[in-house]
């Protein structure tokens, strides 16, 4: 099914997008995403699930395989502009160059293969519009039937924010790294779900603030610290913006 869906696509870009979309029909341990980036396209590979640990061998094998598959589908060799891996360097750099044609960057935010955007405009020699419609329609049905109930990206980000606030201000970069996404990819996914990272931080802080204010064992300075504020004054300003009153007044009003 996956072979036909990819091999009958009109061009290489569509083929790779289908490969990314229908990869779930084969396994759900890892996935990848085709991300436009100016005159380049990033094919980002990540391991799914909160706290999933990247596997060096799997990331390297997947990106190398994508180059081979892209070359086979397009009927001519495809070389990468750049290759990035989320893991640390391992092995001889020449071995990587012999496979990818370039020296990879290691310890990157996310593992990815970078291709020239124009390469993806190449037509697929075996393109078949009629068969393509039939195969993709069936693939969509299978995808809908087997789609697991997954936590939204927004929910994952909110949880990570709540976990990280007590360690100081949380950043988009830090949360993206923990979810094995690039900042750009995380921003786009949140946008698709109709929210923004800054708004989520504010919402989580407000919800936790109301919970902590109700716990009189916590001093207001401790509440500020637990919410990731360096000093009490920014917390007081934020709390007044949220509620129209001060933390102390809100605590007194509970009696």
The answer to whether residues 183 and 227 belong to one domain is: yes
For residue 179, what is the DSSP state? T
Residue 50 has pLDDT above 60, yes or no: no
Which ranges of 89-152 does DSSP label H, i.e. alpha helix?
A: 93-100, 129-146
Q: How many domains are there within the chain?
A: 2
CATH number of the domain at 168, please. 1.10.10.60
The answer to whether residues 158 and 141 belong to one domain is: no
What pTM does this model have? Answer: 0.57
The answer to whether residues 180 and 196 belong to one domain is: yes
Last residue of a domain, one of 88, 118, 146: 146
Name which residue leads in pLDDT, 233 or 54. 233
Q: From CA 240, how far away is CA 229, in angstroms rounded?
A: 15
The answer to whether residues 136 and 198 belong to one domain is: no
Domain that holds residue 32: 2-146
The answer to whether residues 136 and 34 belong to one domain is: yes
The answer to whether residues 222 and 164 belong to one domain is: yes
The answer to whether residues 58 and 126 belong to one domain is: yes
Last residue of a domain, one of 127, 146, 165: 146
> Maximum Cα–Cα distance for the chain, whole Å?
75
| Nearest to 134, CA basis, from 238, 244, 8 | 8
Determine how β-strand 82-84 pairs with β-strand 111-116: antiparallel
Which pLDDT belongs to residue 52? 47
Q: State pLDDT tens for residues 74-117.
A: 888 888 889 999 888 877 888 888 888 899 999 888 899 999 99
């Amino acid at each position: 099914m996956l072979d036909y869906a990819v091999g009958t696509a009109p061009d290489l870009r569509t083929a790779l997008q289908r490969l990314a979309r229908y990869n779930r029909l084969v396994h759900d341990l890892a996935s990848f995403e085709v991300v436009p980036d100016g005159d380049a396209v990033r094919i980002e590979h990540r391991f799914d699930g909160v706290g999933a640990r990247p596997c060096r061998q799997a990331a390297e094998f997947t990106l190398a395989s994508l180059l081979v598959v892209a070359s086979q589908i397009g009927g001519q060799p495809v070389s990468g502009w750049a290759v990035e891996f989320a893991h640390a360097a391992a092995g001889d750099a020449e071995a990587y160059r012999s496979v990818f044609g370039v020296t990879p960057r290691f310890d990157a935010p996310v593992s990815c293969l970078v291709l020239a955007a124009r390469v993806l405009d190449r037509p697929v020699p075996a393109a078949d519009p009629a068969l393509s419609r039939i195969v993709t329609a069936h693939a969509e049905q299978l995808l809908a039937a087997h789609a697991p109930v997954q936590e939204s990206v927004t929910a994952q980000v909110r949880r990570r924010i709540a976990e990280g606030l007590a360690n100081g201000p949380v950043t988009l970069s830090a949360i993206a790294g923990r979810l094995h996404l690039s900042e750009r990819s995380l921003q786009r996914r949140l946008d698709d779900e109709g929210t923004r990272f800054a708004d989520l931080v504010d919402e989580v802080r407000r919800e936790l603030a109301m919970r902590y204010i109700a716990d009189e064992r916590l001093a207001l300075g401790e509440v500020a610290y637990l919410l990731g504020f360096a000093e009490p004054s920014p917390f007081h300003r934020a709390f007044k913006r949220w509620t129209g009153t001060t933390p102390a007044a809100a605590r007194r009003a509970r009696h």
